[in-house]
Amino acid sequence: MITISLCMIVKDEADILHRCLTSIADLMDEIIIVDTGSTDNTKEIAAEFTDQIYDFVWQEDFSAARNFAFSKASMEYIYSADADEVIDPENHLRFFLLKQAMMPEIEIVQMHYITPPAFNTTANYQKEYRPKLYKRLREFVWIDAVHETVRLDPVVYDSDIEIQHLPKNLHSGRDFRLFRRIFQQEGQLSAKLHSMYVKELFVSGDASDFNDAAEVFHSVLKQKTASIDMQKEAICALCHIHRLAGQTDQFFSLAFQLMPDAICSELCYEIGVYFSDRGEDEEAVQWFTIAAYQTEAIIDARRGGLLPLLALEQCYRRIAGHLQDAADPEGAAQYLEAAEAVEKEAAVWQLPSSSPV
């Protein structure tokens, strides 16, 4: 049976820390809690489970805090958890069985991370694999009988363990601040952070959050080294900003940069909303249809499915109402039938936690 160090970083988690530790403490051989500045009784709750509690001065850097926590571990494996995670009895048993049967060559164990829609800041998934259990000391071995080389890729095991992610609130505001801080310090964001920033904005950002990020996206379009994916993300975000601000010329000028080869659901949805807001429902229908059925989402999956479908239903019903007023009951009936069809299709999607701006 392997031994495991639990490593956590916490701050003001008194409301949920006991719930988390109760669900996993007996699986751990060592519990390490790193507090980054709590003002509530977080440390007192942690002390019910361990005496290895350390203070760490917050540096606006989660990696620095996690590295400090990992440095205190002494067991064979390290389990990294956040206070808003819970393992239910069924998955507690799975974890226990994994601990008993773990093969020594495994270096990383991935577990299913499940986030309810109300707390999902990226929306493209509610269940995903995340690396959670790590071998503390890695052993390098030679492989291949000829032209031998040292194995560099870690041995990863995808387990069936499910972790419930149940935060007490969204962390988008904090994340937005950190994204901007990194940009100010380094002059750019990595492709990974840029993608996460855009996704969080589209799911949980408001107009002011988008405006605060405009500098980041403008800089991407000036970077010669920025990837095509980053440029597409930046254009989608800037088009959203221009539409909200009523800057039509800038909106369409940027939008046409992605047409026709790099067009995506997000951009088609934005154009559909533009025409819908102007009362041009028939034109809006064309763009919402393209968003829902003919393109792929690159940032927010809802804009390639649920949102344009809901918009199509509204457009169809408004058009039907106009036709009824114009004494065209047959035409109105056709649009109402279309509205009912997309309404049924939209029902299979998970409703968004908040309305997009």
pLDDT digits 0-9 by tens, 48-89: 999 999 999 999 899 999 999 999 999 999 999 999 999 999
Distances (CA, A) of 279 to 246, 256, 272, 276: 15, 22, 11, 5
Options 2.40.50.430, 3.90.550.10, 3.30.565.60, 3.40.50.300; CATH for 4-165 is 3.90.550.10
Residue 173 pLDDT greater than 80, yes or no: no
**What percent of the chain stands above pLDDT 70?**
94
* Distant-in-sequence contacts of 312-317, Cβ < 8 A, 24+ apart: 312/285, 312/288, 312/338, 312/339, 312/342, 313/339, 313/342, 313/343, 313/346, 314/276, 315/276, 315/281, 315/282, 315/284, 315/285, 315/288, 316/285, 316/342
pLDDT at 247 over 50: yes
User: Over the stretch 300-350, which tens digit does the pLDDT of each residue have?
Assistant: 988 998 899 999 999 999 999 988 887 787 888 888 888 888 888 888 765
pTM: 0.75
pLDDT digits (tens, 9 = 90+) for 141-168: 888 888 889 999 999 999 999 999 887 7
With 90 as the cut, is the pLDDT of residue 120 above it?
Answer: no
Indicate the angle between helix axes 172-186 and 191-204, nearest 10 degrees. 150
Q: Would you say 239 and 254 are in contact if contact means Cβ atoms under 8 Å apart? A: yes
The Cα-based distances of 53 to 10, 59, 219, 299 in angstroms read: 10, 18, 42, 39
**Contact of 20 with 50, CB cutoff 8 Å:** no
| Structural domain boundaries in the chain | 4-165, 171-250, 263-357
